[in-house]
Structure 1
Amino acid sequence: MDKSWMKADRRSLQFQLGLEEFLKFASDNARDINKICCPCLKCHNTDFGGIGLIKDHIFFNGIDVSYKHWKWHGEPSASALHALRGDSETVEMNPDLGIQVEAVGLEGSEDEEISEDSNEFMQFVEDGDKPLYPGCTKTTKLNGLIQTFNMKAKHGMTDACYSDMLIMIGLLLPEGNDLPGSTYEAKRTLSALGMGYEKIHACPNDCILYRLHHADAISCPTCGESRWKLGKDKSEKEGVPGKVLWYFPPIPRFKRMFQSTVSAKELTWHANDRKKDGMMRHPADSPTWKMIDTKWPDFGLESRNLRLALSSDGFNPHSSLSSKYSCWPVILITYNLPPWLCMKRKYMMLTMLISGPKQPGNDIDVYLQPLVDDLKVLWDGVERVYDAVRGEYFKLKAILLWTINDFPAYGNLSGSIVKGYNACPICVDQTRPYRLKHSKKMAFMRHRRWLPRHHPYRKQAASFDNTIEEGEAPTPLTGEEVLTRVQGLNRPFGKKNPPPPYKGLEDENRPCWKKSLFSSNLITGNIFR
């Protein structure tokens, strides 16, 4: 098919005739003529519209001249044509959604078939785009299912009640509707989204998780506490765990993001569309991001590799005036996205929910173990992740760059002491606090040490604490120096295993870190390796 018209002047007859031929080709191969990918320079096949809208877009914005293979509009690839000529398996296409499924490999290899995971998701998208019932224009099967499932979660419906509600709604809808008839069918449909979760039992004293070699234990090997909840008569309610961690694996959801043409394009915005003029507009302009690209060039060369931040904090879901219940979400933020999308709720990925009557405190590392394991897998790389924009498979890697939290939560995550004489994690034993006489609290007034040597503020004693500042700013400790200051590096976790006492507040070797698992992984870089 001649595509030389794409480079011609938009005012020329050649361009007009070529565009008409393209629009006819796209409409002939479209599943829905009102939802066709727009290949203009502004949309890049990520927005949908009818023939008239696409024609206007191309005349106003121009067509993407690099789009020589019209795969989003029904044109088969060379490998697919080869397979068809050889009477191999057929090619299925969904040009409306920007998804192409080939029975042969994307690079022409007949032995490399599309992964079952991708095929299942594509089938889910195709089914979800169907009308809820024949002739329905208001909602789709997927939208109807999500709305009813949200109602189930909001009002605490039992599975039996939800199944009865689906049956009742199905009877009220016209014949031929695609609404599931039971809770099992609804969950099976939604499971293709990769939104599954794991319920991991935990020790009520936060000593261990009942996973891996502790999966079959009935009591905690550290404190001896029963795995099961105790009733009022102190008898064990077997099957009812004393504490539960809700874990939402992030890897399947990262893979789903790249199977969407919109999300996959946004995940490479930092490399393709970011303005690079030396100004700080995005985390990609930060020294940390550039350090990662320099230290591990193979990681930095692949723009699709993910840069992540971890955020955690506690809240009371029931009442702000009560402290009888605590809930700690742990969220991953993807910084590959543009700045206006990074902090949107739809892109903030909940990875775990730590619930219980008491907050995990410094023992939060116990609950972070599954996430740390997945982050290590992501650093080594996840094979065969499908990129819907480029139409190819690649090896996805990810790295954890930052944590986002307030100061008390920072102390829980890192194990750093955040109050008292050594409260500053940078100054450590050079913090130099001042104890207020009447309130008996610590005040930290030596911030003028970071000013230049001859700055006038250094000599303005009356404006600050009636002293002239002549000291120098302390040098932050290296990761190896931090590990030497960790108190009880291999101590067991749990509420019944507090850190060993130190000699006194004036001891110059007073420990400044109280634990090691997550903090030492983070400090030494093991979470990256």
Structure 2
Amino acid sequence: MARNYIRDKDWMYVGRAERMQSIFVNGVGAFMDFVRRHDMVRHGRLICPCKLCANRLHQLEEEVELHIVKNGFVSDYKTWVYHGQIEGLSDADEEEQEDDNLFLDEEMEEMVEVALGNTSPAEDPPFGGHREDNYDKYMNDAKRPIYENAKHSTLSWFVHLFQIKCLNKWSNKSFTMLLKFLKDSMPPGNHVPDNWYEAQKIMSNLGLKCEMIHACPNDCIIYWKENSDNTECPTCGEARYKKKVHGQKKDIPIKLVRYFPITQRLQRLFKCKKTAVAMTWHHRARPSENGRMSHPRDTPAWKDFDSRHPTFSQEPRNIRLGLASDGFCPFSFKGNPHSTWPVVMMIYNLSPWLAMDQSYFMMPLLIDGPKSPGNNIDVYLRPLIEELKSLFIDGVDTYDADTGTNFTMRVALMWTINDFPAYGMLSGWSVHGYTACPYCHLQTTSKRLPFSKKTCYCGHRRMLDENHPYRDDIIHFDGTKENRPRPDPLSGEDILAQWNGKNNVTFGKIKGRQETPQGWNKKSIFFELPYWKTNKVRHNLDVMHIEKGVSEHILNLLLCKDGKSKDNLKARRDLQAWNIRKELHPIPKAERKPHQSSQQQHVQQVSRPATAAPTGSRQQSAAAGKQSGRQQQQLQAGSVQRSAATTGSSSKRQLAELAAAQLQQQQASSFSRAGSPAAAATTWDHSCNIKK
């Protein structure tokens, strides 16, 4: 009987000599197969479990095998939690899980069982209908082959075909044509649907509910609850539906919002035993070592939430979510201003590798364009906020497949993660102007650059320790010392105190300016959640945009990339206006040394890589050279002729040297004239010479 290397892991910890024997090598091969089956290899790399890497570094597949054989496994790692194995799952359950991955029909039966079976009486069936009838129908389809002696069952065949359609973006028309061809090419008596409409009905009963909510095109309201029967917007008077054309019977809304309720989606995670066990990973996993943050549960915000809401934190199956949103253009061609905004939620109960897996993301909202909702995004978030309030206060009865019992599932939103513009849209703080920093709020230090016409935020040294040497550095910063302490961020109670006695803004198309506290555009709808005002961290900036922006600007500055570098004449004139970094000030032409020729100045400028000409200066140089090139060529030809007439017996070599010297002098003089912002009458040299 073949040895089960996954159940029996005694082979993992042996001496250095035994690691070259077949039992250890075969065990490493079984480990790598296990990792591949659980899809833990990303872009050819996976977490290395050897003693040196210790599940901290990603290595190539072949390097991981060599590391394990050479160094051995890290100590106390018989449960492969970093490579797809679920902690707390018994050996029998693990074998059952492996078998489910091998038999496709059993996967379909499990999918039907999760979607239509083992449910609480309070849960409504998806898209209505009788649950018992749908359960029997789909269970028969999961067992019945698509045609006689076929490899795939009717349900598994269609689910795979439907997935291919979605991944490759097939149109409904092309999918119908394919179904007709497959139906005719298969043996008689097959169960292939006739068209896309019949196929869609099969998937709809297995899917989850989607609400189509009409919205005002000016983002004033959504036609939901009290406004569901209105035919025009009460704020701006815009019509709800498009004008009917000849022969049109059904009303077509001008703007549509798709809302996917999250309650049933979260309940289904507990109906499958595999995911039910994974949903308590944050409670069962070992704490991080040496105070390192390996999961959101290690953050002070998570621990502060647990201390403020002990009833919620005592149940490890209660769910904690994060929310993110950003706009994108769904069309491939450029120049289209259309902007669609999805709202995505992440589940922090899962392990880090599952929480960031796309298959576990949820999209409760899809806000249609053609323009960004801006500060009016709260209008579209209202159904989601109402559902989150209900899930936190009342909860919902949910079946847990791991324990075989029902429990009251509650849900909390921990924070949001966005780029800076979306940060302002969700938080309500104005991220533009002189007080754009949401951390420093009204104490933001900012100045206006007189030549670049931009706002500069220069109070970063306040965040340093009190004894940090940069606080006293007046040379490399803004010319001042920083003695102020670190600012205190606004708490939720502080924000609500600022709004005390003031009504929230009216969303949509409103004429005139609305009264708000200084620095605020609106009162965020997230404050309707009963726990939001006590959350230690409410909004976060995503790391990707920060790393990308900072690194790009540094590289463009160092490489002097055309049109991208921030080192230009305007920036250096701003330094001169602030009277800082004098070695970078531009030198007026009148201050040049008289004994230096234009050619010597040209050589001096080129030899200094930090003073490369900016893009605008190069373009002006090309224009100036093109404009006067013809005249300079004529002067050069005339001077050569005059030199030839006066010298008489001069050799051709002397004439050639004279012409080359005059050409170099002409190029140097045009280089020194070219970079002015206006023309040759400018006072400043484009190359921003650095004084010795």
Question: Structure 2 length as normaliser, TM-score?
Answer: 0.56
Q: Secondary structure at the match of 2:421?
A: helix
Q: Secondary structure at the match of 1:144?
A: helix
Q: Which amino acid aligns with 1:492?
A: T
Q: Which amino acid aligns with 2:165?
A: M
Per-residue deviation, 1:241: 0.8
Is 1:456 the counterpart of 2:469? The answer is: yes
Q: Which amino acid aligns with 1:246?
A: R
Pairing partner for 1:515 from 509, 514, 522? 522
Aligned-partner Cα distance in 2 for 1:523–1:461: 47
Paired residues for 1:178-193 under 5 Å: 178-193=191-206
Residue in structure 1 matched with residue 450 of structure 2 by the alignment: 437
Residue in structure 1 matched with residue 403 of structure 2 by the alignment: 390
Residue in structure 2 matched with residue 255 of structure 1 by the alignment: 267
Report the more deviating stretch, 451-460 or 206-215. Answer: 451-460
Pairing partner for 1:349 from 349, 362, 368? 362
Pairing partner for 1:288 from 284, 296, 301? 301
Residue in structure 2 matched with residue 338 of structure 1 by the alignment: 351
Q: Which amino acid aligns with 2:505?
A: R
Aligned-partner Cα distance in 2 for 1:237–1:445: 61
Higher strand share: 1
Aligned-partner Cα distance in 1 for 2:149–2:413: 48
Contact 1:327 1:354 in 2 (8 A): yes
Residue in structure 2 matched with residue 17 of structure 1 by the alignment: none
Per-residue deviation, 1:43: 5.0
Is 1:144 the counterpart of 2:158? The answer is: yes
Structure 1 residues 180, 114: closer, same or farther in 2, change over 3 A?
farther
Pairing partner for 1:48 from 98, 102, 118? 98
Structure 1 residues 368, 99: closer, same or farther in 2, change over 3 A?
closer
Pairing partner for 1:225 from 238, 259, 269? 238
The number of aligned residues is 433
Report the more deviating stretch, 249-258 or 198-207. Answer: 249-258
Contact 2:493 2:534 in 1 (8 A): no
Residue in structure 1 matched with residue 169 of structure 2 by the alignment: 154
Higher helix share: 2
Residue in structure 2 matched with residue 279 of structure 1 by the alignment: 292
Aligned-partner Cα distance in 1 for 2:260–2:323: 14
Contact 1:308 1:400 in 2 (8 A): yes
Aligned-partner Cα distance in 1 for 2:388–2:470: 45
Q: Secondary structure at the match of 2:269?
A: helix
Q: Secondary structure at the match of 1:341?
A: helix
Is 1:135 the counterpart of 2:149? The answer is: yes
| Post-superposition CA distance 1:232-283 (Å, at most 9, x none) | 99xx997111110011111111111211222112111111234454431111
Q: Which amino acid aligns with 2:149?
A: G
Paired residues for 1:360-379 under 5 Å: 360-379=373-392
Structure 1 residues 322, 115: closer, same or farther in 2, change over 3 A?
closer
Report the more deviating stretch, 403-412 or 434-443. Answer: 434-443
Per-residue deviation, 1:40: 4.9
Residue in structure 2 matched with residue 403 of structure 1 by the alignment: 416
Q: Which amino acid aligns with 1:261?
A: K
Question: Structure 1 length as normaliser, TM-score?
Answer: 0.72
Q: Which amino acid aligns with 1:206?
A: D
Contact 2:492 2:533 in 1 (8 A): no
Residue in structure 1 matched with residue 670 of structure 2 by the alignment: none
| Post-superposition CA distance 1:91-123 (Å, at most 9, x none) | xx999849989xx999xxxxx979774966866
| Post-superposition CA distance 1:258-310 (Å, at most 9, x none) | 11222112111111234454431111111122122221112111111111001
Is 1:241 the counterpart of 2:245? The answer is: no
Q: Which amino acid aligns with 1:439?
A: S
Per-residue deviation, 1:461: 1.6
Q: Secondary structure at the match of 2:275?
A: helix
Q: Which amino acid aligns with 1:268?
A: T
Report the more deviating stretch, 130-139 or 197-206. Answer: 130-139
Q: Which amino acid aligns with 2:91?
A: L
Structure 1 residues 169, 180: closer, same or farther in 2, change over 3 A?
same
Structure 1 residues 357, 287: closer, same or farther in 2, change over 3 A?
same
Q: Secondary structure at the match of 2:397?
A: strand
Per-residue deviation, 1:133: 3.2
Q: Secondary structure at the match of 1:49?
A: helix
Aligned-partner Cα distance in 2 for 1:442–1:189: 57
Per-residue deviation, 1:383: 3.0
Is 1:195 the counterpart of 2:208? The answer is: yes
Is 1:493 the counterpart of 2:500? The answer is: no
Q: Which amino acid aligns with 2:528?
A: N
Per-residue deviation, 1:381: 4.1
Per-residue deviation, 1:393: 1.4
Is 1:215 the counterpart of 2:265? The answer is: no
Per-residue deviation, 1:334: 0.5
Q: Secondary structure at the match of 1:271?
A: helix
Percent identity between the aligned chains? 38
Q: Which amino acid aligns with 2:97?
A: D
Report the more deviating stretch, 483-492 or 331-340. Answer: 483-492
Residue in structure 2 matched with residue 270 of structure 1 by the alignment: 282
Contact 2:388 2:529 in 1 (8 A): no
Contact 1:145 1:186 in 2 (8 A): no
Q: Which amino acid aligns with 2:283?
A: A
For structure 1, the residue ranges without an aligned partner over 5 or more in a row are 1-9, 11-38, 54-92, 107-111, 503-509
Report the more deviating stretch, 132-141 or 439-448. Answer: 132-141
Structure 1 residues 208, 313: closer, same or farther in 2, change over 3 A?
same
Structure 1 residues 527, 460: closer, same or farther in 2, change over 3 A?
closer
Structure 1 residues 262, 128: closer, same or farther in 2, change over 3 A?
farther
Per-residue deviation, 1:179: 3.4
Residue in structure 2 matched with residue 313 of structure 1 by the alignment: 326
Aligned-partner Cα distance in 1 for 2:377–2:371: 11
Contact 2:428 2:524 in 1 (8 A): no
Structure 1 residues 384, 460: closer, same or farther in 2, change over 3 A?
same
